Each structure stands twice: as C-alpha cells, then as structure tokens.
Amino acid sequence: MQNDEIINKINQLLIEEIEIDEEQIRQDADLKRDLGIDSLDFVDLFVIIENNFGFKMKAEEMTDVTTLQDFYSYVIKRVNPN
Amino acid sequence: MSPFHHFMKRVVITGMGIYSVIGKNLGEVKESLSMGRSGVVLDPVRKEMGFRSALTGMVERPQLKGILDRRMRVGMAVQGEYAYIATLEALKGAGIDQDFLDRNEVGILYGNDSSAVPVVESVDILREKKDTMMIGSGYIFQSMNSTVSMNLSVIFRLRGINFTVAGACASGSHAIGLGYLLIKQGLQDIIICGGAQEINPESTASFDALNAFSTRESDPTRASRPFDRDRDGLVPSGGAASVILESYESAMTRGANILGEVVGYGFSSNGEHISLPNVEGPRKAMQMALKDSGMDPGDMDYINAHATSTLAGDSNEAQAIDDVFGKTKPPVSSTKSMTGHEMWMGGASEVVYSMLMMQHSFIAPNINFEQPDEVTSRLNIIPATTPAEIHAFLSNSFGFGGTNSALVIRRFSR
C-alpha cells in the first residue's frame, strides 16, 4: 500500500468510524487536544487499525505519537517496514 | 397516618415519557391504549433460532446518530436508546432542560435486569479473534445491568443519586418506589425514574426454555390474554418508560405542571419458589402500599394488574386482588394484553399507561379477556375501553424470586 493511500485510508476511518469532523483533519492536529481522541477512542482505534491494516497496535510503540502526522508515520512504518 | 407524616415531603410526577411497542411517545401510546391496539408480532428470526414461541412485542430501534455523539452512543445498548428517547420526552414535559440539569442536583434510578446482546457479541468476538483488545471500548458499558443509568447520567450530566434497580419484572416499579422514598425523606429533589427492557432473541431464549411463553403463534395479537380462561403464557416485550419524580416544593418553585402524586409504595418477598408466584406476597405489597398512602381499598378507582397471561400468575394475583379489594371491586385491567410483558420496564411503563388513563378519563381495556376462570371471575375486569374518572390507582409488579411491588398514585390536589 502506497503512503498516500495509507494516509487517505486513515483519514477516512477517522471521519467515518471515530466521527471526527473532516475540517479538523490536519497533519499537525494533536490527537487528544485537537481531535478529542481519548483513551477509550484509542481502544476502538486498535480494532479499526487491525481490521483495516492487519496489524496490532502496541501501546509501548505509541508513546511518541501525539499528532496526526506521528500517527500516519507510525502506521506507514508498520504497514511498509522497509 | 404516621405521626411523622407532616415532616415528609410530598412526591409528585412532573413529567413522563414512553417508547413502547404500542407507541413511541405519549400521544401514540394514549391512542393505542384507548383503541385497545396490540403491539405483539411474530418474529420469524426466533423460529429459525429454535424458539418454542416466536411471539414478541416489537418496536424499531431509535436512530441516535446525529443526535448524540459517537462516545455517547457506543456504550449504549438498545434498551438504553429506548430509555434515552423516553427520558427526553419526560424531561421536556417536566420543563427541565440541560441548563437546569447543569445547575441543579438531579438523580436517576432506572430499572433494568439484563443486557444480553453485548455480552454475546463481545464474547463471540473474543472466541473468534482470541484477543480481548479486538472487543473495543463500547461493550463493557453496554453489557452491565447498570447500562441505562450509567449512560443516561453521563449524557444528561446528572449529579444526584445514580444506580440501576434490578428486581426482575418488578424493576421499574421498585425504581419508582425507591425514588419516591428518597424524595419523601428529603434526600433528593428530583429523580428520573423508569424502566427499560431490551427486545431481542438473545435476552429471551432462556426464558422461552421455561415453557412460559404463549404459543398462540397463529394469532399474535390475541396471544397475550391476561385473566382469560384460555390464556397459555406470556408474550415477551420491551421498550422504556421514564417519569420525573419531584418534591412538591421543587415543582412549585419551578412552576412545573403537576401530573399526579405518588402516595404509596409497598413491597414484599414471597420467600418461596424462584418462578412460581404466590398469593400472600402480592397481597402484602398491595396492603402496604395502601397503608402508606393513607387511603382505603375503596378509594382506588383502577387497578393496573401485573397479570402477564400465565396460568398460575394471573390466578394468584386475582386471588390477592380479591382478598384486598373484594368488597368494592374496582375496575382491573392488565395492559400487558396489548403490550406483552415488558419485564424490567413494565413497572414504570404501567405507571405511565395508568397516568394517561387518569389524565384522559378512561380505563384501557384488558383485550382478549373473553371468558373468566373460576378465580378471575371474582374481579371486575374491563374488557373494552371504558370512560372513567380516575382519582387514584394502584399498579402491581411482581418478579422472579418472589419480589413484589405495588404503587399507589393519585391526582394531585393541594
């Protein structure tokens, strides 16, 4: 999967599954502060990511993920490790 | 009357809401009650699953997307959705908006005694995926019995008493009774009370296994026939009903429209069989409610019976009603003839149904009551809609384990 496909897919899932307003989707958006993704939403993101990208998110790998760009990068790294 | 009676607060009803198989708001339900309309259908899915009886009350699921945000919806099971709609209607009727809820202490006591589907679905996911993390965040809040009170208290930002009353098929009635006691004691000013019941095969399969359901599948709307000689079992049903209980002082201060006054709550436990009801327990609950109300049996203009359309249950309740009310024989009907058995919700919804009758001066019929049996012939059962001035009524609710609840409600007068 190409990087831009991954980013589009993440955006689509955030809009459809987590019901985040499309206008709020910006690379520098803070996941918690700007997008309002709380600890319970992360639990649902775990399910959404595994069902759509086929890997399990690990909490210990997420400690540095604060912005949407961080999250794109994390997913891209897991989907395309090389 | 107790010497402390004048220290106690009066408890009034200032709002009601209903989402049921005979209507999705008060107006629709009043219409169905006066028309004697049944909400019972045949659910083919249950037949395929192996149910002995596929009869059930049925109402569509509320669509809350666009009304409540995702976080508020994902933790809510279907009975919570019913309860949300009923509570919105009740609060609106009471003249209570979110701003009022944010500035005042309001509580919630809701009857609910199961939440089967989220339990089944979450365990199905676990069995398939072998990873609890694949269950997601919503199922835990959907699957607990307290799902209704926990969700509504968050949605409406309530800061008063907050828990669920699980008393089998008397849950909704006990919730109102407990709310009444708390307000009467001066511990709360306003409590949202009610009862909710999920409608789905998962929650009723094990009940169907007890041979307690009517199998009159060829004629769904005539299957629930409380007190009738040819009754052959209950029809499961569901939905939700809410009432706003409030101290008289609070209602006066707000200038609220007072719909009625809760004046008596009686309760008892049979101490016998887990599913077979008896006569003594219900009789005791009715007598206690009457005593608490300071009224006589002859003051009751209507009795909303628990009668579910089972052989033993209706017979024992008829005997108990006759023991207490035999001298004056007030009109009796079981609205379960139309709604089916709303179980955890029934004690609350039947207060709403009876309140609608009191407001609109009629007694809703016990439809399908064609021939009495030896015991039920002792009651004044109302088979067709009858105009009547109701000044006070008693509502019975009984449940598994022998839990009994009776409420006495009357028209408000200063």
* pLDDT reading at B224 higher than 70: yes
Q: What pLDDT, in 10s, does the model give residues B66-115?
A: 999 999 999 999 999 999 999 999 999 999 999 999 999 999 999 999 99
Cα diameter, chain A? 32
3-state secondary structure of B212: coil
* pLDDT reading at B6 higher than 70: no
Asked if B388 and B361 touch (Cβ cutoff 8 Å), the reply is yes
What are the structural domain ranges in chain B?
Answer: 12-410
Number of domains in chain A: 1
Q: How confident is the model at residue B123 (pLDDT cuts 50, 70, 90)?
A: very high
Cα–Cα nearest to B106, from B118, B95, B119, B96: B96
CATH number for A19: 1.10.1200.10
Question: For residue B79, which amino acid is it?
Answer: Q
* pLDDT reading at B173 higher than 60: yes
Q: What is the pLDDT of residue B3?
A: 55
| Structural domain span for residue A48 | 3-79
* pLDDT reading at B290 higher than 60: yes
Q: What pLDDT, in 10s, does the model give residues A7-65?
A: 999 999 999 999 999 999 999 999 999 999 999 999 999 999 999 999 999 989 989 99
Q: Which residues neighbour B55 within 8 Å (Cβ) at sequence distance 6 or greater?
A: B40, B41, B42, B43, B213, B214, B215, B216, B217, B220, B223, B235, B236, B340
Asked if A76 and A3 touch (Cβ cutoff 8 Å), the reply is yes
* pLDDT reading at B2 higher than 90: no
Q: What is the pLDDT of residue A82?
A: 77
Cα B91 to the center of its chain, rounded Å: 18
Question: Chain-wide mean pLDDT for chain B?
Answer: 97
Asked if B411 and B295 touch (Cβ cutoff 8 Å), the reply is no
Q: β-strands B40-42, B55-57: how paired? A: antiparallel
Question: How many residues in total does chain B contain?
Answer: 414
Q: What is the pLDDT of residue B7?
A: 80
Q: What is the pLDDT of residue B133?
A: 96
* pLDDT reading at B333 higher than 60: yes
Q: What pLDDT, in 10s, does the model give residues B349-380?
A: 999 999 999 999 999 999 999 999 999 999 99
pTM given for the model: 0.96
Q: What is the pLDDT of residue B370?
A: 98
- pLDDT > 70: percent of chain B: 99
Q: What is the mean pLDDT of residues B56-64?
A: 98
A56/B138 CB distance under 8 A: no
The residue annotated as part of the active site, out of B5, B273, B341, B360, is: B341
A46/B69 CB distance under 8 A: no
Instruction: Name every chain B residue with its beta carbon within 8 A of the beta carbon of A38.
Output: 71
The HSE-up count of residue B398 (CA atoms within 13 Å, CB side) is 33
Q: What is the pLDDT of residue B114?
A: 98
Give CA–CA dist A48/B289, Å, rounded. 53
Q: What is the mean pLDDT of residues B52-75?
A: 97
Q: Examine the residue annotation and report whether B306 is marked as an active-site residue of this protein.
A: yes
Asked if B242 and B347 touch (Cβ cutoff 8 Å), the reply is no
Give CA–CA dist B188/B351, Å, rounded. 21
Nearest CA in chain B to A45: B136
Q: Which residues neighbour A65 within 8 Å (Cβ) at sequence distance 6 or greater?
A: A31, A71, A74
3-state SS string over A20-66?
CCHHHCCCCCECCCCCCCCHHHHHHHHHHHHHHHCCCCCHHHCCCCC
Instruction: Name every chain B residue with its beta carbon within 8 A of the beta carbon of A41.
Output: 71, 137
Give CA–CA dist A38/A57, Å, rounded. 16
The residue annotated as part of the active site, out of B5, B169, B273, B360, is: B169
| Paired tokens of B212 | 């307690």
Q: What is the pLDDT of residue A59?
A: 86
| Paired tokens of B165 | 């009353």
| Paired tokens of B403 | 């839990």
Q: What is the pLDDT of residue B4?
A: 54
B133/A46 CB distance under 8 A: yes
- pLDDT > 90: percent of chain B: 98
Give CA–CA dist B22/B353, Å, rounded. 11
Place of tokens 């300071």: B294
Q: Examine the residue annotation and report whether B5 is marked as an active-site residue of this protein.
A: no
Q: Please tell me the distance in Å from B134's CA to the nearest CA on chain A.
A: 5
Q: What is the pLDDT of residue B5?
A: 54
Q: Which CATH architecture has domain B12-410?
A: 3-Layer(aba) Sandwich (3.40)
Chain A positions contacting chain B at CB under 8 Å are: 18-19, 38, 40-41, 43-44, 46-47, 50, 56
Cα B77 to the center of its chain, rounded Å: 18
Q: What is the pLDDT of residue B414?
A: 85
* pLDDT reading at B206 higher than 80: yes
B74/A44 CB distance under 8 A: yes
Cα B200 to the center of its chain, rounded Å: 18
Q: Examine the residue annotation and report whether B169 is marked as an active-site residue of this protein.
A: yes
B contact test, residue of A46, A49, A58 with most B CBs within 10 A: A46
Asked if B149 and B162 touch (Cβ cutoff 8 Å), the reply is yes
Q: What is the pLDDT of residue B302?
A: 98
